Structure 1
Amino acid sequence: MNEQSRKLRVLINSSIFAAITAILAQFEIPLPLVPISGQTLAVGITATVLGSRQGATAMICYAAIGAVGIPVFAGFSGGLQVLAGPTGGYIVGFIAAAYITGFLLEKTTFTIPMALAANTLGMIIILIFGAVQLKFVAGLGWEGALNAGVYPFIAVGIIKAFLASWIGITIRKRLIQASLLSTSDKKSA
């Protein structure tokens, strides 16, 4: 495959997974400050399938599309005010989580047990980013930020980490078999 085709494939894969994240973001359970949504599931699937650089690129695309006002964030919201608001830290955390989750898988193996470990760490990273911004934007103390932005999401985060691992590894294997994703793609962005 020539370099131009490889770059096009990276762009297409990143765009598809940014779109998947936008779709899953609309599945939500409302809570007082921070809703439970499918966004974090999409982040885990993206990182598990694409790896570090492409996964982070997909999340950068997702955040950028939302930042310009296209309603791709939870509750069909968009705009810089969402990124600067109480839930914006989670969205920024998606980028770091996708990179670190993918990086851990690239340095070990793309298996469900390793993906579960990597996705669990990714969920923790998202919660940390989210709690920090929630604390400062909502004017909460650390205890309030943890009570509103971390503790309610631990159990569902573990479930999402498992689902992202299982779904992501399954999709990754199928895409490789169909020659739509190569194992060398994980090194490119």
Structure 2
Amino acid sequence: MKQYTTLTLPALGAAFIAVLAQITLPIGPVPFSLQNMAIGLIATLFKPREALLSTLLYLLLGSIGLPVFAGGHGGVSALIGPSAGYLWAYIAYAGLTSYLTKPKSPISAIFFANLLGDSLVFVGGCLGLHILASMPVAKIWLLGVLPFILPDLVKILVISLISRELFRHLGQHTYFKS
């Protein structure tokens, strides 16, 4: 059963991220999408190994050209373009949040773990915009951080509220009990 979970959950997680990444709103060099919400939910529900494998598989699928990134983009160029810092930081988001959350975690702990993970995405995104797009810090703040703060807080709140209920329903499976 463990091998089944180890193989299946990352594939399902990567597919979930890819689907939510297609819900986008282009607002500049970095589109608003729901892929970070998918990362947060997977990181909250999955153990660190499966959360990291889901994220890495998602990035691998995109890097080989499958249209899984926001707006149906794919290819190596996405991993070295303006959004690259955000994409690479998803690995840190998945790892940290998954490490900090457990099935019995209170909503506040889930919120805080996702807030920390999402903050790492902002840091990675800002570094990517500065290094790869040569943006000045003021422009990075206006284009790469400010428009996303409130929507990301709402997404984190949604993750926090629905994950407790999902844990309750998934608790029948031994993977989600510990």
Same fold (TM over 0.5): yes
What count of residue pairs does the alignment treat as equivalent?
178
Q: Which blocks of at least 5 consecutive residues in structure 1 are unaligned? A: 185-189
Q: Give the aligned partner of residue 39 of structure 2.
A: 43
Matched, 1:149 2:144: yes
For the Cα contact (< 8 Å) 1:50–1:172, is it kept in 2? no
RMSD: 1.6
* 2:167–2:176 CA contact under 8 A, matched in 1: no
Match of 2:125 among 122, 127, 130: 130
Q: Which runs of 5+ in 2 are unaligned?
A: none
TM-score by length of 2: 0.94
Asked whether 1:182 is paired with 2:176, we answer: yes
Identity of aligned residues (%): 31
User: C-alpha separation between the residues in 2 aligned to 1:139 and 1:51?
Assistant: 36
Instruction: Report 1 or 2 for greater relative contact order, CA contacts < 8 Å, sequence distance ≥ 6.
Output: 1
Q: Deviations over 1:74-120 (max 9, x none)?
A: 011101000100001111111100110111114x9522111011111
Question: What aligned pairs does 1:13-92 form with structure 2 within 5 A after superposition?
Answer: 13-92=9-88
Q: Which of 8, 13, 36 does residue 12 from structure 1 map onto?
A: 8
Using the alignment, how far apart are the partners of 1:63 and 1:180 within structure 2?
28
Q: Distance in 2 between matches of 1:180 and 1:15?
A: 19
Conservation of the 8 A alpha-carbon contact between 1:135 and 1:144 = no
Query: Distance between the aligned counterparts of 2:145 and 2:53, measured in 1?
Result: 25
- 1:130 maps to a residue whose letter is G
Q: TM-score, normalised by structure 1?
A: 0.88
